[in-house]
Structure 1
Amino acid sequence: MNNFEKYIKEHNESEMHPAELAKLLKNLNDHDFSEAIKRVPNDLVGDVALALPDRYFDDVVENLSIDELSHAVSELESDDQLEFMQELEDVDENKASEVFHSLDAEDKHEISELKKYDENQAGAYMQLEVFTANENEIVQDVIKRFAKLRKANELENVQNLFIVDKHNKLLYTIGLDDLLIFDFSKTIKENKVLSDESFDSKIAVDTEDIKEVVNYFKEYDLSVIPVINKHGVLLGRITSDDIYDIINEHATEQMYNLAGVDDEAEEDEDVIKAGKKRAYWLAINLVTAIAASLVIGMFESTINSMVALAVLMPIVASMGGNAGTQSLTVIVRQLALGEITKGDAFRSIKKEVAISLMNGFIFAILIGIIAYLWFKIPMLGVVIGLSMIINLFMAGFFGAVIPLALKWLKIDPAIGSTVILTTVTDVVGFFSFLGLAKVILL
């Protein structure tokens, strides 16, 4: 008996958690996975499928019927329904169409509404299921209504009550914990005046950039945020679990981009597709490597006259590349976290240059001594030391400037930064070292 079978046997459906089921399913081979996914309770299949890495979604679709997939979608909250259907469309458009048309009218309407938004807009990430009340409702009636909806499983993860007017315009928000200490016999409006326990949270507009909404959650320590349209009408809510996913996806995307890898292609099992994406950046890197080689070719006679130069030259370029990558990574991450504004960009550049220069002097002395002891040529240590200072200075400067410039041009700072930086540090490293050697040593 494997761990999945043991878990299924020992827990009833109400005790099972989608994340735990997904973790157990990932440890199964293809055959066992195909059998196991059929044993996941129908009400949990949708959540389990979304909790699994994308590469497993094909297997889920292959092993479930249209009716089972339709039921899985119907059990999800509206934002998860949209995500499930989008992944299903990527796998099999015909099957996705069949599943969509088999859903009830309300589910189809909600999915269609969310599909209207671009993937970078707040509206694309909201849940349409919200708990609302009118200011003039008695608190006791509101609580009874909430209890009824919760028992019917029509609401999940509710932390806030949204107070709206008769036109569904959002007035303010009340935390459920505050609601519980209100006078149950009075209206919400009367309680608000008497105890002032209600609060106004940050509000997101449906067309707002989702990155701005992520910043709201971080800056104001939110667990949920209401989403309104330009007229102030309440449309839905965005919860912290969706924000965690967005942060994780963005961090993964940045990490891949820094390495010249496409995140969407890497999540796909298609080797050719991923290979093509990687080949694109490798081709660019080949061009930049040729540029660095051309610099070396300019000093061919210099290198031929002193073999020590060929031995030491990669050290300067390598140190510059690593120092530049350190600065680049720090700046890209700070930009992603919103820690660098237009006003303090110069401060960031100055800091990275200072750190690189400090390390440049330290390692210039160290490599200078090593070069002298190794080849017994005093001025060779001076040459490589000066070159180290120059290259690390340029590495720190361009490591900070490149992502800031890309950000100013409204390009993702992570895309292409590493390739550009490597070219700069290689060319500067080789040119400064060999150029100084030609002037000082020969």
Structure 2
Amino acid sequence: MNAYRSHEEMPAIPPEDRIAAYYQPIVALDTRRIFGYEVLGRERTGDGVRSLGPFFSDERVPVEDQVRVDRLLREQAIAKLGETAEPPFLFLNLKPSWIYRHYHSSGELHTLQLLEKYGISPSKVCIEITEEEFRGSMTELNEVIDEYRAQGCRIAIDDVGSGFSSYDRIAQIQPNLLKVDIHMMKKSASHQGYLGVLRSFSTLAEQIGASLLVEGVETRQDLQRAIQIGARYAQGYLFAPAEAEFRPKDDFAQVIGEELEEHKRKLQASERIWLQKGKRLFMSIAETGTRERLEETEEVRRDGALSNEASERYDEAISRWLPDLDEDCLRVYLCRDNGIQLSSNHSRSPEGTWRIEKDFRGSDWSWRPYFIPHLSHAEPRTESKISTKYADLDTHAWIRTVSLPIGRELVLFLDIVDRTI
């Protein structure tokens, strides 16, 4: 039984001479080198070492004892940094309540005092705000975080997507790094919804000027997943557990390089597949007469106004083409180059049959992110364009949209399932 979780006795306070700071490497995918280390608490025992995580998370342990032990760990880590010729970056975990409570009572920041004591630049430290249920003033907490930032420290938010890291708090704190919760990444391997959420964190980081750090990377497949969602940094047992010493910076360059090359190879293969798919579709609309029938309908429209008669003729032309499309095509529809949909949606049912959804006639899709780039077909309009991968609103499948120019003003759109990476 875990000593810290025993219900028969109060959790034991680890003796100071058995407390040790350990360091888990964080690698940068852009440089392929160790970027820094997260400082983690360990207790040396007769059988080896054990994590102090349960000690810090046990609500029965007085906060004063947790802070005292944490300060010992921080001082060990910062002192070690001062003894290192080329000091790496350190990630120091701090609960919001600890930061808020100490500064509120003393007006001092212990970490900054330690950095000054050992002659370490604050630019070598990242203050990692860990997840907890925080009930203090966010305004005052932000003042403390801003003080760390003003001195040169970076700021990270841990366990993005859980407890403390709501979007509102992320917006207020404006961190330099977002750390993705390991459990979400594991679920993403089997659940497309989680992968979409992870991709959204990458987009969020990009929009606020932060970098994405994926922790808990245990296998090469995990590393591929981290690369796929746009992580800049990775951390986990694939590289190393927390250890007592720092490692050479290039220790993991080979595995990072191999997985980056594999990701590049998959991307290139995927793009070749989609380029060929677009070319085949462009040839198909000409060979089957679909292009000609759509252009003829456009020519007979009066004053450019959308009419039921014209929409029916567009639908008829598209319907004749549907049997030539493979099973990955989910949807086909025709638009003007101003974004207005002229035809119905021709959508594939789960059973594989096609249904016509007339309610979409007249819809304006110019707001969709992929639409405007798809209208910039060079003259003459003789090529297809392909969007990036995104989740379909109706089926939640990962799809791409292929656009095929028709004459001067029409664009035929196809939503197609993307089974590549």
Please classify the TM superposition score into its range, dividing by the shorter chain length.
under 0.3
Compare CA radii of gyration and give the structure with the larger one.
1
Pick the structure with more strand per residue: 2
More helix by share: 1
